Amino acid sequence: MIKVSATSSLAGDSVQKTLLVKPEGDVQFSNKAVFVDLRNKKNFNTTIDLDMPNNIVQGSDKVEVSAVGDILGPSIPNLDRLIRMPFGCGEQNMLNFVPNIVVVEYLKNTNQLTPAIEVKALQYMETGYQQELTYRHSDGSFSAFGSSDPNGSTCIFFYM
């Protein structure tokens, strides 16, 4: 909350406003899956190394751990969490773009697609597509870094 006051010999006034403070930096996600098979033993121990970026904003790190008894169990009701804004170079952009298509198609075909999820996914896909067009070469091919790459990438071209 920020409060600003001004006074003079004739009058005074004050304004109080709520200020939304957003941390600097970009949100990054990482996943480390560990398959635990307890069919032939009763206990399981492991150590998981976390690779945090060197330039992490202090105090912004967050780790979530989940354990499920069914490999597909948490995936189906949480598919909307796979919808993300595409970002990065041409290759990274497509790797973040494609899950949006797959999730929308799955939810549509199973009658689970809500208007909110559809709008969000379509906005992200439009943004990702426009971003991908910046990596297009004059010959129609695409590459990870656009015109700074001498040749287009077959892999990225087929994604498009």
Map residue 17 onto helix, strand or coil. Answer: strand
| Tens digits of residue pLDDT in 21-36 | 877 888 888 888 888 8
The tokens of 45 are what?
Answer: 């121990």
Residues spanned by the domain of 127: 2-159
Number of domains in the chain: 1
**Which of 91, 94, 112 is CA-nearest to residue 103?**
112
As a whole number of angstroms, the distance between CA 115 and CA 55 comes to 37
| Mean of all residue pLDDT scores within the chain | 84
The reported pLDDT for the residue numbered 91 is 81
Whole-prediction pTM value?
Answer: 0.51
Residue with tokens 């597909």: 72
The reported pLDDT for the residue numbered 47 is 92
The tokens of 55 are what?
Answer: 């330039």
Contact indicator for 36, 23 with CB cutoff of 8 Å:
no
Length of the chain: 160
**Which of 27, 25, 136 is CA-nearest to residue 85?**
27
Run of H or E residues at 131: helix 115-133
The reported pLDDT for the residue numbered 10 is 86
Q: Is the pLDDT of residue 157 over 60?
A: no
